Amino acid sequence: MTIKDIAKESGYAIGTVSRVLNNNPSVSPAARAKILEVIKRYNYQPNSNAKHLKQQSSDGLALIVKGTQNMLFVDILEKMQAILEERGYVSTVYYIDEEANEVAQAELICAERKPYGIVFLGSNLEY
């Protein structure tokens, strides 16, 4: 199963599937839901080696932020990233919707990117 297969099965373009896989907020909720359903149905796991070769970067820590409206999180993220960078760590920020399951998102990130660690901001205690 490839990203092209996911696109064909879901009825969306490869670029849209890629944006969902990279947690880009510009994808509509309906498109995201359909693509994620196909990904889950086929237990699709992106090839992290191919992605890293394309991006030529490696992820150290994943910073998962629930919601984008909280300015406190922006301040916290800036400080965290400055400290991490100062100490030689790479970090990637993933923004997810308020309604999203951050644990499921973390599982996807771990399967795809294999970060050294994960930091949650704005998590729902129900998960």
- Residue 72, domain CATH: 3.40.50.10860
Q: What is the pLDDT of residue 7?
A: 93
- The reply to whether 112 falls in a domain is yes
Judge if 33 and 68 occupy the same domain. no
Give the chain's domain count.
2
Judge if 63 and 105 occupy the same domain. yes
* pLDDT 10s digits, 85-109: 888 888 888 888 888 888 999 999 8
| Residues 9, 17, 107: CA angle, nearest 5 degrees | 100
Q: Domain residues for 3?
A: 1-44
Long-range contacts of 14-22 (CB under 8 A, 24+ apart): 21/46, 21/112
Q: What is the pLDDT of residue 72?
A: 82
Distance (Å, whole) CA 80 – CA 74? 10
- In whole angstroms, how far apart are CA 50 and each of 5, 53, 54, 102? 16, 5, 6, 25
* pLDDT 10s digits, 4-37: 999 999 999 988 998 898 888 889 999 999 999 9
